[in-house]
Structure 1
Amino acid sequence: MTVEPTPPVASPTRTVLGSEPAGAVTRLATALGMTLEGAVRAPGDPGYAEALPGFDLSVAQRPALVVHAATADDVARTVRGAAANGLGVVVRATGHGAPAAGPRDLLLDTSRLDRVEIDPVARSATVGAGVTWQAVLDAGAPHGLGGLCGSSPHVGVVGYTLGGGLGPLARTFGFAADHVRSLDVVTPAGEVLTATPTRHPELFWALRGGGAAFGVVTAMTFDLFSLPTVRAGALWFDVADAAPVLHRWRELTTGLPDDVSTSVARLNLPPLPDLPEPLRGRAVLTVRYARHGDGPDTLVDELRAVATPVLDAVGDLPYERLGEIHADPEDPLPILEGGTTLTSLPAAAVDALLAAVPPGSPVLMAELRLLGGAIARPPTTPNAVGGRDAAFSLFVLALGAPDEPPDGEHAVREVDAAMAPWATGAALLNFAGKRDPRSSARVRTGFGAETYARLVELRQRNDPRGVLDPSARWSAIRPGSAA
């Protein structure tokens, strides 16, 4: 059943630069340059152009200033300075999912906040805003501990977690946001505080799943788990075997135990030398698999009996190599993407998905992730994560501008339309795609009317001037704008 999106409400109003924007920016750059430990760059300065690109090369960046923060105090001074001069603040660490920064914005780069501390006794990690998951995996490995990393270990820990965080072991442990202990935050007013279940609990609730619209998180402490190894990997099948394999996968996911997480993707792979030779330039179906603890590998054994994989990479995997399951791209590229969640996956939905992504399609990936298990259960400390009641998540990706094929966007929409009969009308925050009215409505629907209204009220109360221009996915919380 399709759920109607929550109606948009009025957006906070930001007072922008007045009659002397260039002079105000120059004065702000000078003031920040004299007080920050990090670096400030304006258009025309050495290093300004090189500082702009993030992971998604289709996002054009034209900020009035780029600030590379070296400390939390740098972040606070930057936010206060931007607010005083009518500039918005766009925050970026790795650039995965970062929005565009325009000439009325300041691009705040937090990648230098790279502290990683592992507490093996408390089984926790404390990381700065610029830390990627691979750094956490490597630091935890000597202790046999790991955090709830996403499919790509090269994504920033903080941004991923604030958006919910749906990783390869999510059915066993839940969302990454469910296991956050504390957040060091700079508010839109430039105040530095720590949010926990008992200190600033409303902010703690909103940031975990509602995202960065409520403050700039400079550090985060979260749970680690005993994860020296997992039984994990991927089976890669030729597209000729896609139908029988995907139909059998659908059948096997019914009643799957919580200790098994799995996803499946139809991929049209380019002929890249980084890919294993059997996969280069090939149309394939890949089944991703991760099992925590002892137990039979029934799902992969059954699929091996359906067809012989082109490549079989399921086995005992050291947890710090978790990224090998999905083998997501590491190098920057332009991206077109879209996502939704599904109520179910009947046989007709499998046929519709495969028909919508034929070999040669501009769609590089159409992925289904099995939800349920711990994903569907509320955490001990409530948070704003939405979409827990869905059965599957659908995510579609193609190349964006400037490399976008002429019908790339149309092809992504075709997959979306093909799966519409089974769609919820919602999307998980990290899988909604770039900001447009459709993805914005889906994010709002995913939150549900009560949670969305609560987030909007807090957003307007905390940031009435609209200082924070959050990433594309958070802007659904900035009412009236598109995600």
Structure 2
Amino acid sequence: MLDTDSAADAVPDGVPAQTTTSAAYTGDRPAGGQAARHDVVSLDAPIRGRTLFPGDEGFEEACSGWLLTVEHRPAVVVVAADADDVAAAVRSAAEAGRPVAVQSTGHGKSVPADGAVFIATGELRELSVDPRAGTARIGAGLRLGEVLTAAAEHGLAPLCGSSGEVGVMGYLTGGGLPLACRTYGFAADHVRSLDIVTADGLLRTVSPTREPDLFWAVRGGKGNFGVVVAAEIELLPLRTVYGGELHYPGEDPRHAAHVLGSYLAWVKDQPEEMSSSVSLLRLPDAPQLPEGFRGRSFVQVRVVYTGDEERGARLVEPLRALGPEKDTCGAMPYTRITEIYPDPKNPVMVHLRSALLHGLDDEAVEELVSFIDPSTPEGPFPGIELRHLGGALNRPPGRPHAVSTQGAAFHLWMRMPAPAEQAADEVLGRLRRWDTGAMLPGFLFDHDSAPERVRRAYTEADYRRLAALKAEYDPDHLFRVNHSIPPFGSGERARS
């Protein structure tokens, strides 16, 4: 899951894309055009979907996506119509010695798919809900909002992140940090089985009883082990939550620090049914923004409480006493939960960063507030979110997986409009004292494609296990156009 913020809409149109260099694949870019295309890769197996080469109509659209700071230039795009198409594309890539890239919505783009066999899964749209079992079967082309709507017809709900536009499989394989994370843990906890095409071109169904090691690895190991084409997940009997957002003016650093410090004190007493976050937002004086937001700074608190409305209102009362400019908190249908975070639906040109943090003290509050201080008119203009962790996230899941907060108190997510990549790095540098050094796999971005950064997303024991399983299931490193885990058999070799 990517947790984006309304400030991303402030990114001006027409800013050139910042293409990231692949740390995992350095193959030549295809020459393109009709004459050279069949020399690039041959797909001998019949494909029910579409096979697109550079220059073909629909090629550019098929390999674009929500995050525009990474460009893909694959050798061929396979718009898969079914799992057989995916398997055929994987086998052809292996025979040609080319890597495989996979994309549904493009929210999680990290490494350019240069020279790769690019599998677009957006047309794998299977969706069925079993209300008696409380489960849903989901194809790889679906977005969270579609599953949310279908499940609600039966009084059930999937664990959603902040955006309904995110692809389900990328969310689940990255672990999935839901808005109700302190109550229910990671979304990966609630996956019952996965259908995955592995590097040998075989379609496997993995679960706690069928190839359990691979089932463990895929939930958190992202795209390193194959192409997930379908999943069966548990649904929850959630019809309503108490939730919403409170906006406070942030132009005065002293007031912003008071609000942020009060929030940090407030979370220490919250039950597991209360999940929340606080965002620090500074906006440019840009004409495309609504007049009431131009050139302003804000502290924004967002809450999701899974208990009854009356108690939710009592718990939020100390936040209301801080005098928000805007307060939307109240009982709401679960189907509207993604409205709490006004994530942009259109593609954006931004740099994204994340970290897992220790508990935050007064010095951390002062440092964080300084990033939205309007006394520096030239910027930068960050959007910084701190998600409160703990609760169910700290308990061992019923179905073990490779995702862990590694004991962190907060998850930091940051968005910086391109091309201010250096400014984004400077923000993280100034917060290093509170950084645990760990990360969540679902919040690795283009900046995090180097192996040493990928390793930070896992405990040492989990990383070694993932590397060993990679050697078993993908020894030739076919799935490397991603946050790559090299297929080494020992921890020491993986470290090198």
Structure 1-normalised TM-score?
A: 0.89
The 1:277–1:311 alpha-carbon spacing in structure 2 relative to 1, beyond 3 Å, is farther
Q: Which position in structure 2 is the counterpart of 1:264?
A: 278
Partner Cα distance (1:78, 1:410) in 2:
38
The 1:168–1:420 alpha-carbon spacing in structure 2 relative to 1, beyond 3 Å, is same
Give the alignment partner of residue 386 of structure 1, picking from 404, 428, 432.
404
The 1:43–1:413 alpha-carbon spacing in structure 2 relative to 1, beyond 3 Å, is same
Q: For each residue in 1:143-183, what CA deviation from the matched residue of structure 2 results, as whole angstroms up to 9, or x when unmatched?
A: 11111111111001111111011111000000000110000
Give the alignment partner of residue 173 of structure 1, picking from 184, 187, 198.
184
Q: Which position in structure 1 is the counterpart of 2:417?
A: 399
Kindly indicate whether the alpha-carbon contact (under 8 Å) linking 2:175 and 2:442 is maintained by their aligned counterparts in 1.
Answer: yes
Distance apart, 1:25 and its partner CA: 5.2
Q: Which runs of structure 2 are paired with 1:363-378 in the superposition (5 Å)?
A: 363-378=381-396
Give the alignment partner of residue 62 of structure 1, picking from 50, 73, 86.
73
* Amino acid corresponding to residue 124 of structure 1 in structure 2: T
Q: Which position in structure 2 is the counterpart of 1:351?
A: 366
Q: Which position in structure 2 is the counterpart of 1:287?
A: 301
Q: Which position in structure 1 is the counterpart of 2:3?
A: none
Kindly indicate whether the alpha-carbon contact (under 8 Å) linking 1:14 and 1:466 is maintained by their aligned counterparts in 2.
Answer: no
Distance apart, 1:316 and its partner CA: 1.4
Work out whether 1:432 is the aligned partner of 2:450. no
Name the SS of the counterpart of 2:382 in structure 1.
Answer: strand
Partner Cα distance (2:171, 2:411) in 1:
16
Q: Which position in structure 2 is the counterpart of 1:451?
A: 462
The 1:16–1:466 alpha-carbon spacing in structure 2 relative to 1, beyond 3 Å, is farther
Distance apart, 1:322 and its partner CA: 1.2
Q: For each residue in 1:423-471, what CA deviation from the matched residue of structure 2 results, as whole angstroms up to 9, or x when unmatched?
A: 101111122332447x753442341111100001111221111111343
* Amino acid corresponding to residue 248 of structure 1 in structure 2: S
Q: Which position in structure 2 is the counterpart of 1:6?
A: none
Kindly indicate whether the alpha-carbon contact (under 8 Å) linking 2:65 and 2:347 is maintained by their aligned counterparts in 1.
Answer: yes
Distance apart, 1:66 and its partner CA: 1.1
Kindly indicate whether the alpha-carbon contact (under 8 Å) linking 1:235 and 1:287 is maintained by their aligned counterparts in 2.
Answer: yes
Partner Cα distance (1:470, 1:15) in 2:
10
Partner Cα distance (2:288, 2:172) in 1:
29
Name the SS of the counterpart of 2:248 in structure 1.
Answer: strand
Q: Which position in structure 2 is the counterpart of 1:305?
A: 321
Partner Cα distance (2:287, 2:122) in 1:
29
The 1:254–1:314 alpha-carbon spacing in structure 2 relative to 1, beyond 3 Å, is same
The 1:134–1:15 alpha-carbon spacing in structure 2 relative to 1, beyond 3 Å, is closer
- 264-273 or 280-289: bigger deviation: 264-273
Distance apart, 1:414 and its partner CA: 2.2
Work out whether 1:325 is the aligned partner of 2:340. yes
Give the alignment partner of residue 149 of structure 1, picking from 157, 160, 167.
160
Q: For each residue in 1:16-67, what CA deviation from the matched residue of structure 2 results, as whole angstroms up to 9, or x when unmatched?
A: 79x99998951676645x7111101101111212323211111111111111
Partner Cα distance (1:382, 1:463) in 2:
21
* Amino acid corresponding to residue 120 of structure 2 in structure 1: D
The 1:189–1:358 alpha-carbon spacing in structure 2 relative to 1, beyond 3 Å, is farther
Kindly indicate whether the alpha-carbon contact (under 8 Å) linking 1:90 and 1:108 is maintained by their aligned counterparts in 2.
Answer: yes
Q: Which position in structure 2 is the counterpart of 1:3?
A: none
Give the alignment partner of residue 475 of structure 1, picking from 457, 481, 484.
484
Distance apart, 1:136 and its partner CA: 0.6
Distance apart, 1:325 and its partner CA: 1.1
* Amino acid corresponding to residue 141 of structure 2 in structure 1: G
Kindly indicate whether the alpha-carbon contact (under 8 Å) linking 1:363 and 1:396 is maintained by their aligned counterparts in 2.
Answer: no
Q: Which position in structure 1 is the counterpart of 2:263?
A: 249
Structure 2-normalised TM-score?
A: 0.86
Name the SS of the counterpart of 2:456 in structure 1.
Answer: helix
| Structure 2 residue ranges without an equivalent (≥5) | 1-22
* Amino acid corresponding to residue 393 of structure 2 in structure 1: I
Q: Which position in structure 2 is the counterpart of 1:414?
A: 426
- 43-52 or 86-95: bigger deviation: 43-52
Q: Which position in structure 1 is the counterpart of 2:230?
A: 219
Cα RMSD after superposing both structures: 2.8
Give the alignment partner of residue 132 of structure 1, picking from 120, 130, 143.
143
Partner Cα distance (1:478, 1:303) in 2:
49
Q: Which position in structure 1 is the counterpart of 2:14?
A: none
Q: Which position in structure 1 is the counterpart of 2:198?
A: 187
Name the SS of the counterpart of 1:126 in structure 2.
Answer: strand
Q: For each residue in 1:196-238, what CA deviation from the matched residue of structure 2 results, as whole angstroms up to 9, or x when unmatched?
A: 1010111000011122201110000111001111111111111
Q: Which position in structure 2 is the counterpart of 1:5?
A: none
Kindly indicate whether the alpha-carbon contact (under 8 Å) linking 2:91 and 2:201 is maintained by their aligned counterparts in 1.
Answer: yes
The 1:299–1:346 alpha-carbon spacing in structure 2 relative to 1, beyond 3 Å, is farther
The 1:167–1:331 alpha-carbon spacing in structure 2 relative to 1, beyond 3 Å, is same
Q: For each residue in 1:78-98, what CA deviation from the matched residue of structure 2 results, as whole angstroms up to 9, or x when unmatched?
A: 000111111111100000112
Work out whether 1:337 is the aligned partner of 2:361. no
The 1:333–1:50 alpha-carbon spacing in structure 2 relative to 1, beyond 3 Å, is same
Partner Cα distance (1:379, 1:45) in 2:
46
Q: Which position in structure 2 is the counterpart of 1:8?
A: none
Name the SS of the counterpart of 1:331 in structure 2.
Answer: coil
* Amino acid corresponding to residue 301 of structure 1 in structure 2: E
Work out whether 1:201 is the aligned partner of 2:212. yes
Distance apart, 1:362 and its partner CA: 2.6
Name the SS of the counterpart of 1:207 in structure 2.
Answer: helix
Q: How many residues align?
A: 460
| Structure 1 residue ranges without an equivalent (≥5) | 1-11
Kindly indicate whether the alpha-carbon contact (under 8 Å) linking 1:56 and 1:334 is maintained by their aligned counterparts in 2.
Answer: yes
- 416-425 or 298-307: bigger deviation: 298-307
Name the SS of the counterpart of 2:280 in structure 1.
Answer: strand
Distance apart, 1:335 and its partner CA: 1.9
